[in-house]
Structure 1
Amino acid sequence: MKSLVKNKKTYHDYEILEKFEAGVVLKGSEVKALRMGRGNLKDSFVRVIKGELFLLGAHISYLETTNPYYKPDEKAPRKLLMHRREIDRLFGKVSKDGLTIVALGLYLNNKNIIKAQIALAKGKTLHDKRETLKQKTAQKEAKAAIANFNKGRI
Structure 2
Amino acid sequence: MAQKSNNLATNRKARHDYFIEDTIEAGIELKGTEVKSIRKGKSNISDAYVDIDGGEVFINNMHVSPYEQGNIHNMDPLRKRKLLLHREEIRRLERVVTLKGYTLIPLNLYLSRGRVKVQLATARGKKLYDKRDTLAKKDANRKIEQALKQKYI
Q: Smaller-chain TM-score range? A: over 0.9
* 1:141 positional shift: 1.1
Partner secondary structure for residue 28 of structure 1: coil
* 1:149 positional shift: 1.1
Q: 1:115 pairs with 117, 120, 123, which one?
A: 117
- Are 1:90 and 2:115 matched, yes or no? no
Give, as a single letter, the amino acid of the residue that structure 2 aligns with 1:65: Q
Structure 1 alignment gaps of length 5 or more:
none
Corresponding residue of 1:27: 31
Larger Rg: 1
Q: How high is the TM-score relative to the length of structure 1? A: 0.94
- 1:24-103 maps to which residues of 2 (within 5 A)? 24-67=28-71, 69-103=72-106
When the two chains are superposed, the root-mean-square deviation of aligned CA atoms in Å is 0.8
Structure 2 alignment gaps of length 5 or more:
none
**Corresponding residue pairs, total:** 149
Task: State the distance in 2 between where 1:70 and 1:93 align.
Answer: 37
Q: 1:12 pairs with 4, 13, 16, which one?
A: 16
State, as a whole percentage, how many aligned pairs show the same letter: 41
Partner secondary structure for residue 114 of structure 2: coil
* 1:40 positional shift: 0.5
